[in-house]
Chain A
Amino acid sequence: MKKNTNENIKVLIADDEVEFSSTLQTRLNLRSFQATAVYSGKETLRVIEEEHPDVLLLDLKMPDLDGLEVLARLKEEHPDIQVIILTGHGSFEVGKEGMELGAFDYIMKPVDLNVLINKIKEAYAAK
């Protein structure tokens, strides 16, 4: 069991909405998370290799690679990374598909930061 403090948690935010992901990154860092933001599917896969995040906040619709595709590839190579699907394009069906591919949970935008942080902590704890 890892120690449940924010400093230890590496969070990667993958969302093509730059304004959203960069702001979220700043706010998480303000709360002592080690947050990084990426803006495309391919970039996500590359940064994962470099940074090995604990939790990935993943948007489902990105211009180059679909979020579900990213999720599928990621889970093959790094099953230990917890993925929380975070999208405005969600529906229950897509969420369910994500869960079947191994996502930890599914949250619809816009999301309250406290709810999100609790979810990140849950995911990290379940790692």
Chain B
Amino acid sequence: MKKQTNIIHKILPDPLKSSIDLGLVRRNYGHFRLILFVTMLIITAVPVTTIAILGYSNYKSLLQKDERIQLKWQLDGSVRAIEQMVDSLKSVVQFAARRDRYKELTTNSNLKELFDRLHRQYPFFADLGVIDKYGIQQAYYGPYGLQGTDYSGESWLKAVFNQGLHISRVYKGYRNVPHFAIAVGNYDPRTRQTWVLRATIDAKTLQQFVDTIKTNASDDLFLIDDEGVLQTQSDYYGQALDRSNIETKVGIWLDISPEEEAILHGTGNIRTTPWSLVIMKKGYVTQNAWKSFRSKLLLIFFTCTGVSVLIIYSLVTLLTSLIRKADEIQISMMQEAEHKDKLASIGRLAAGVAHEINNPLAIINQKTGLIDDLLQIAVDFDEKETLQLNLKSIDANVERCKIITHRLLGFARRTDILHEKLGINDIIREVLQFLENTMLYNRITLDLQLHDNLPPISSDRIQLQQIFLNIVNNAMDAIGKDGTVSIITSMIAGEIRVVIQDDGAGIAQDLLPHIFEPFFTTKETGKGTGLGLSITYGLIKKMGGDITVRSNVGKGTAFTITLPINNEHT
């Protein structure tokens, strides 16, 4: 725990540190909440995001791989199909150009008959020509009248002489119609001449064939020559014979279509021809499987994140308020304890000082008293009266000190309120024990009307005694000699009520509002400190109770004390 805290302390910026201080301080709960929120969010978001990203990229690469394989199959199949077509055309021409037929084909109408036979079976043959070793077209049959054309400078002718076969690019040539040629070279052993049979084939044939192998599985499929000229029509790049900038390297790669879409691009060479087959397929991103996966993934991700944020937010709010509450309780308890402790210390100190001062005060008091006594006995002399006045002044000041020390003792007694279950009637009886002798001496009758079934109250015995002692003492002082003190206890509205009344002198109406004020007294100087009722009032209020007074001069005074059964104020 300690170590963890240290690490957190190193990471956190200084202003945020106080909010996670474990000590008893008022934290910045905003910062605390922020830290908790961010931390919990990171803890939750990191795994969710990681899993989402992993799933996303894995599925993506899986789909891509799958697509590549599919395209590869399609490309290979298409390349084979076109090769087969080219092979079969080549075979037909090779068959027609048997070695020794040069003579035969260049004479009479034999070439026409060959063409007619071929054309019946393969209507896409456009024309046939026989070319001698000098490159001169010796015989021609076809719609364009190319008899005698000199091909000796053409590169394809050299290729035929060298390799025995040439398949041309699609071109318009003399005929101005897209076509391609298959030329087969032969060496006639009889004439000892090399000759060439050249068949021209309408490029539409190629287009039709490409169209048949093009399926929905691909978005574009076309032939292109080694210089980038389209041999068949392309959906993306235009018509046959348009020049394009398409790369002609063999293989499969990711590309961008002219429409700016991601596409898979595959190219395969067609054997013995200058052509390459290009197949294009729109990328995975546009495919439904991928789209639905991605939208589901996003939905799950954002739902998870949203729910987490909500839960974390409410949890953090709850936690923060709980901690705040706990802190507040702890701090207020600490403060209360400190306050009580302080009061108790002051109380002990005050009591100690008061005790120490009371004894010397008593000595001074007795000494001045003795001097006064002696002065009264002594014969009169000049300054006797002055001396007596000064003695009175000393006495008055001793009295002031006494008031202070007694007040301090009273304060010391007020610091703690104990709680015990007490019978109010018992307390009153205990208090009366102190006063019985004085009452007897002053011929004061006691009229007790104590209600029997009063519930016990939770309070402090000593303080209750002090309260009743004070009030009853006042009642006795008000009577002086010969009178009655009545004490009536009862239960009123769930509270204990004690009425203490006397038939003494009573208090004047204009003085009544002041009787609970400190240092207010009607007793003659030296008899009352003026603190009794104010201390009593304070004690009763502290217990959650109340004290009221009714008085009529010459009739008497009644104090009504109301005390709660369970004191909730302390």
Q: Say if A and B assemble together.
A: yes
Residue A111 at the B interface, CB < 8 A? yes
Within 8 A of A (CB), among B366-421: 366-367, 369-370, 373, 377, 398, 402, 406, 409, 412-413
B165 CB, nearest partner CB in chain A, Å: 133
Contact of A104 with B437 in the complex, beta carbons under 8 Å: yes
User: Which chain A positions have C-beta within 8 A of B469?
Assistant: 92
Contact of B441 with A88 in the complex, beta carbons under 8 Å: no
Encode contact with B along A41-62: 1 for CB under 8 Å, 0 otherwise.
Answer: 0000000000000000000000
B461 CB, nearest partner CB in chain A, Å: 10
Interchain CA distance A123-B440 in the complex, whole Å: 11
Contact of B437 with A122 in the complex, beta carbons under 8 Å: yes
The residue of chain A having its C-beta at the shortest distance from the C-beta of B358 within the complex is A88
Residue of A93, A109, A123 near B362 (CB, 8 A) is: A109
Interchain CA distance A92-B526 in the complex, whole Å: 20
B318 CB, nearest partner CB in chain A, Å: 50
User: Which chain A positions have C-beta within 8 A of B398?
Assistant: 110
Interchain CA distance A110-B360 in the complex, whole Å: 9
Residue of A27, A96, A104 near B369 (CB, 8 A) is: A27
Residue of B365, B370, B373, B409 near A91 (CB, 8 A) is: B409
Interchain CA distance A119-B406 in the complex, whole Å: 20
Contact of B462 with A24 in the complex, beta carbons under 8 Å: no
Interchain CA distance A23-B361 in the complex, whole Å: 13
Within 8 A of B (CB), among A100-127: 104-106, 108-113, 122-123, 125-126
Contact of A108 with B373 in the complex, beta carbons under 8 Å: no
Encode contact with A along B435-475: 1 for CB under 8 Å, 0 otherwise.
Answer: 00110110000000000000000000010011001000000
Residue A1 at the B interface, CB < 8 A? no
User: Which chain B positions have C-beta within 8 A of A89?
Assistant: 355, 358
Within 8 A of B (CB), among A8-35: 17, 19-20, 23-24, 26-27, 30
Residue B351 at the A interface, CB < 8 A? yes
The residue of chain B having its C-beta at the shortest distance from the C-beta of A122 within the complex is B441
User: Which chain A positions have C-beta within 8 A of B144?
Assistant: none
Residue A65 at the B interface, CB < 8 A? no
Q: Among the interface residues A96, A106, A126, which one has the most CB atoms of the partner chain B within 10 A?
A: A96
User: Which chain B positions have C-beta within 8 A of A91?
Assistant: 351, 409, 412-413
Residue A99 at the B interface, CB < 8 A? yes
Contact of B358 with A92 in the complex, beta carbons under 8 Å: no
Interchain CA distance A99-B97 in the complex, whole Å: 153
User: Which chain B positions have C-beta within 8 A of A24?
Assistant: 366
Q: Among the interface residues A93, A105, A112, A122, which one has the most CB atoms of the partner chain B within 10 A?
A: A112
The residue of chain B having its C-beta at the shortest distance from the C-beta of A126 within the complex is B437
A127 CB, nearest partner CB in chain B, Å: 11
Q: A91-B409, A92-B465, A104-B437 are in contact. Are A109 and B361 (CB under 8 A)?
A: yes
Residue of A17, A90, A105, A112 near B363 (CB, 8 A) is: A17
Interchain CA distance A106-B365 in the complex, whole Å: 18
Contact of B359 with A109 in the complex, beta carbons under 8 Å: yes
Residue B191 at the A interface, CB < 8 A? no
Q: A88-B355, A88-B358, A92-B413 are in contact. Are A19 and B433 (CB under 8 A)?
A: no
Contact of A88 with B362 in the complex, beta carbons under 8 Å: yes
Interchain CA distance A104-B441 in the complex, whole Å: 12
Encode contact with A along B51-84: 1 for CB under 8 Å, 0 otherwise.
Answer: 0000000000000000000000000000000000
A-B pairs with beta carbons under 8 Å apart, 21 shown:
A17-B359, A20-B362, A23-B363, A23-B366, A23-B370, A91-B409, A92-B413, A93-B462, A96-B465, A99-B434, A105-B434, A105-B438, A106-B434, A110-B358, A110-B364, A110-B365, A111-B362, A112-B365, A122-B441, A125-B441, A126-B441
The 9 A-B pairs at the shortest CB distance, nearest first, are namely A88-B358, A109-B362, A110-B362, A23-B366, A110-B365, A88-B359, A110-B361, A19-B363, A122-B441
Given contacts A89-B358, A110-B402, A111-B362, 10 further A-B contacts (CB under 8 A): A17-B363, A23-B366, A26-B370, A27-B369, A88-B358, A88-B361, A91-B412, A93-B462, A105-B437, A108-B406
